[in-house]
Structure 1
Amino acid sequence: MGKAVLDDGVARLKRIHDDVREIYLSDNRPWVVGYSGGKDSTTALQLIWAAISALPEEQRTKKIYVISSDTLVETPVVSHYIDVSLERIAKAAVEQGMPIETHKVVPEVDKSFWVNLIGRGYPAPSRRFRWCTERLKIEPANDFIRSRVAEFGEVVMVLGVRRQESATRAQVMSLHKIEGSRLSRHSSLLNAFVYAPIAEFSTDDVWTYLLQNQSPWGNDNRDLVAMYRNAASGECPLVVDTSTPSCGNSRFGCWVCTVVERDKAMEAMIDSGEEWLTPLLDYRDKLAATQDPAKKLKYRDYRRRTGKVSFIGETDRVMPGPYTMDFRRELLRGLLETQRQVADEAPAGEAPILIHEAELHEIRRLWRTENGDWPDSVPRIVRDTLGKDNGFVEPDWVSEDAVAFTADDGELLNAICEENDVPTELVMRLLDIERASHGLKRRHAVHTRIEDVFKQEWRDLDVLVSERRVSLDMPEAANLNELDEELEQPFDGEEDSQ
């Protein structure tokens, strides 16, 4: 019985290898292999490698791009594993004459997690407002694929997706299947086709294959088994469309993920001996706490990023806007303190960079231009938090022009505005508009920008709520700021304008 099962397995692998080679040689379309470092994508890449390496070298002419998506907030243990794996894949490809190139795709700096959350004040992602997936995963991967389509006309994507992952995955795979072909159409990218060599594999099939077949680029697949065991986890796949399962529940994914109630994978890693990850989990839990409906307006502005105020349905409850500036400063300080702590406790060579210098510069720019951050908080927070560390090299901050306002200016202006019962932020915005147009010969847009500022809401929250209650003919309420989670809406679809 055991021999029959083994023979069936060998025959099955031979069929898959033959299938891979036939599709590879059938046209000139390059392949893009999605590699996330997890069990499924590793199995798919190993199968491709084994099949193509059996071809004569003169037939291995079609390029195979191996891409891995780095959100810049990946779980550090997984991120380190992927980085090492990509280096080994690139080296082994050269040594073995394989037509493989590795690429790590990352989000553009203005779309990174920290620039959106700390810079623009986007709230921590939730089930109703999962703004992160599109910006951090789908767009970077799709941009790479589009660039290959522009270069070659069409591409074939090789994905480690399986029908047994979920009923939804099986339905999507069947929906886009091309009649009479082993390829499927991509759900959203034109001229991109999908090949899923392990579509019919079960989870047991995947682990059996990995433990019975050595990695051609020199990884030890038992390390992958150990990583899954330590995290009690599943794989976070390369996400190229909205139908791909998200990295919720106990999957490997972003260490900041607040879409799930608890990060079971991170907790399991810590319990398995990776105690240095504890500060990351604490910071993540701090972000998750801001989703408590009763506390949202403690952390978030009652105005939207447009300066307008929105109410929930026919109620007097305010739709929360972005995080307040004070809380964003607190988040940045906490993140840098977490980075310093992790750097002290992480194993040698594994200390992650939690926020990159380019992100700090972009956050500073947004705070200065959009939020009137006259104290220029970012350099000060960075200096206060990291400046005492030996070896710390402070970023080269771009100096502001001579007419920039300072923290002292802000204090003086605040005192004057309080005396005259005028919103300080309103006057700051008006002065910033004048400063930005200083020295320009043509100032025709200044009046429009000034008008836009005056159209924003500058009255206090209690005044707005009282006015709302009068308009709705409602009695006084005990808790005007109470917010039901199920009623919250995601920034009214205003995207980056929010």
Structure 2
Amino acid sequence: MPEQCNLTGGAIADEYLEALYNKVQDVYLADSRPWVLGYSGGKDSSATLQLVWSSLQRLPKTKLTKKIYVISSDTFVETPVIVNYINTTLDRINTSAREQNLPFEAHKVTPQSDNTFWVNLIGRGYPAPYSKFRWCTDRLKIEPANRFITEKITTHGEVVVVLGVRRAESSNRAGQMDKRTKVGEHLTRHSNLTNAWVFSPIEDWFTEEVWEYLLSVPSPWGNNNQELLAMYKNAQDGECPLVIDKSSPSCGNSRFGCWTCTVVAKDTSMSAMIDKGEKWLKPLLNFRDWLVTTQDPEGKKEIRDVRRRSGKIQYKEVDGDHKIIWGPYLLVFRQEILKRLLEAQKVIQKNGPNPNEQLISREELLKIRQLWLFEEGDWHDSLPQIYEQVTSKKLEVPKDDCSGLGGLEFQILQEVCAEHDLPVELLTQLFDAERRQHGMSRRSAINSDIDSILKKDWASREEALSKIGFHQS
């Protein structure tokens, strides 16, 4: 970390800035490896992109021979205000790059459709993320970015990943940066990806320098950096950078993080946006705050399954007492989450600037429906009913050729299982295993499916809870 800021009279010294431009140019011209620049829309990534852009503007066009891919992560649970800002900015980057004949190309990276926040939370019942189980980071941030980077490595052999990380952000950040293996004067090895190198051009900047640079040098792609400053005022001065490994902190409490983040106890940034006039965001904050309450240990027995997703019932001993290791949210609670989410969506569509604002997409709803049907035995097909109940609209769903089982069949199955003292979930899973294989010419997987189902723990919920001294009324 430098001993002092490179500021002179409230502005970055010209000679320092010129030297930095030269350094960026030297690294760019040193080889043929394309660059992948992580852009979140926040101050640090904006300063980094602006610095690289200004550096390349000073080079002869004949030397701009390799691409710079600007990637921005859309988790599908970003604050709507930020989504609009990022979308507009990416369009400006691509338009300005073409007009200025510069090698920038902006892309949005997203999680795979079966691995989004809502598909995992509502579909699979993953509990709201917390500090010891941040399942969202891998799926929403790391995997989409790494997938894009890996594609470029496959095409080009090697890439340089450009990040707007700074040592002055925190001692943890500085420590993580120091752990990277230095390669040459300016690059370090990527912590996870082979043939990827990391370049951090503003690693020694302080926050003051970032803002001085942004406010004294106009955005070369046409953004207004005063607007960016206004977005930070009266809010947590943080952003969610391109996440490349699990050492990155939670993005909760950030203008540029996920509005659903439950890793932090209180979202002061969202609260500040509401206090500054974005009242229509209140349903999102209320929903997030309610989701945080599901982490209360005392309430887990009401909303979580006794079986883990592996099918096993597991216990741990704490101070001589048996404690259950809770599984996913119960289906009935997932249905409640969906209902509340759709209600929040309905309110912001009415009161917000976009009457078509979506908090959850149709594709996600259909993925969740499939998980409920085939993993949870939701033969009543409750998702379309919940959707219509809240929105007063029908959800168009594909015809299930081999469904044939509904609420009446489920009621009969319950009666038969009760008569023979069998867990109804066991039978529904066996039926659904058959449904998945129905009509296939090769059915070799059916035996392993049946075997894995039979190996699950099929003790009743009451039996499992009695081991920890809890008896349902």
Give the structure 1 partner of residue 342 of structure 2: 336
Structure 2 gaps of 5+ residues are 1-5
Find the partner of 1:150 among 143, 150, 154.
154
- From the superposition, tell whether residues 417 and 180 of structure 1 become closer, same or farther in structure 2 (CA, over 3 Å): closer
1:316 aligned counterpart, secondary structure: strand
Q: 2:373 pairs with 347, 353, 368, which one? A: 368
C-alpha spacing 1:26/1:439, structure 2 compared with 1 (3 Å): closer
The share of aligned pairs that are identical, in percent, is: 49
Superposition pairs of residues 54-453 of structure 1, within 5 angstroms = 54-178=58-182, 180-250=184-254, 252-313=256-317, 315-348=321-354, 352-388=357-393, 396-402=396-402, 404-439=404-439, 445-453=445-453
Aligned counterpart, 1:460? 460
Task: Give the Cα–Cα distance (whole angstroms) in 2 for the partners of residues 407 and 3 of structure 1.
Answer: 70
- Distance (whole Å) between structure 1 residues aligned to residue 197 and residue 411 of structure 2: 59
Deviation at 1:242, TM superposition (A): 1.9
The alignment's TM-score, normalised by the length of structure 1, stands at 0.88
Find the counterpart in structure 1 of residue 45 from structure 2: 41
CA distance in 2, matches of 1:450, 1:259: 37
Instruction: Output the CA distance in 1 between the equivalents of 2:54 and 2:448.
Output: 63
Residue 415 of structure 2 aligns with an amino acid whose one-letter code is: A
CA contact (8 A) 2:12 2:212 kept: no
For the residue of structure 1 that corresponds to 2:315, the secondary structure is coil
Alignment CA distance shift 1:447-1:151 (3 Å):
closer
Post-superposition offset of 1:167: 1.4
Supply the distance in 2 between the matched residues of 1:60 and 1:223 (Cα, whole angstroms).
30
* Deviation readout 1:103-161 (Å, 9 max, x if unpaired): 00000011111111111100000111110001100110011111111111111111111
Is contact 2:423-2:460 (8 Å) kept? no
Instruction: Note the C-alpha offset of 1:444.
Output: 5.4
Which shifted more, 226-235 or 335-344? 226-235
Cα distance between partner residues in 2 of 1:38 and 1:3: 21
Asked whether the equivalents of residues 44 and 159 of structure 1 are also in contact (C-alpha less than 8 Å), the reply is yes
CA distance in 2 between partners of 1:210 and 1:436 (Å): 55
- Residue 60 and residue 446 in structure 1: after superposition, are their counterparts in 2 closer, same or farther (change >3 A)? closer
Q: Deviations over 1:26-46 (max 9, x none)?
A: 211111111000000000111
Contact 1:116 1:122 in 2 (8 A): yes
SS in 2 for 1:234: coil
In the TM superposition, what whole-angstrom CA distance separates every residue of 1:363-401 from its partner, at most 9, and x where no partner exists? 11111111111111222222222234xxxxx55421112
SS in 1 for 2:249: coil
CA displacement, residues 36-92 of structure 1 (integer Å, 9 cap, x when unaligned) = 000000001111111101112222221111100111111111121111111111111
| Conserved? CA contact 1:252–1:265, under 8 Å | no
1:3 Cα shift?
Answer: 10
- Please list the CA deviations of residues 289-328 of structure 1 after superposition, one character each: whole Å capped at 9, or x if unmatched: 1100100111111111122211122632211100001111
RMSD: 2.3
> How many residues are aligned here?
465
Mean alpha-carbon deviation: is it higher for 230-239 or for 435-444? 435-444
| Segment drifting more, 188-197 vs 167-176 | 167-176
Answer whether contact 1:404 1:435 (CA < 8 A) is retained: no
Residue pair 1:233, 1:252 contacting (<8 A) in 2 also: no
Whole-Å Cα distance in 2 between the matches of residues 148 and 387 of structure 1? Answer: 45
Shift of 1:249: 4.4
Structure 1 stretches lacking a partner, 5+ long: 389-393, 470-476, 482-498
Could you tell me how far 1:348 is from its partner in structure 2? Answer: 4.3
What does the per-residue CA deviation read over 1:339-372, in whole Å, with 9 as the maximum and x for residues that have no partner? 11111111248x6421112211211111111111
Which deviates the most, 191-200 or 170-179?
A: 170-179
Per the TM alignment, residue 421 of structure 1 is displaced from its structure 2 partner at its CA by: 3.9
Instruction: Give the whole-Å Cα distance in 2 for the aligned partners of 1:87 and 1:10.
Output: 30
Contact in 2 for aligned 1:73/1:354 (Cα 8 Å): yes
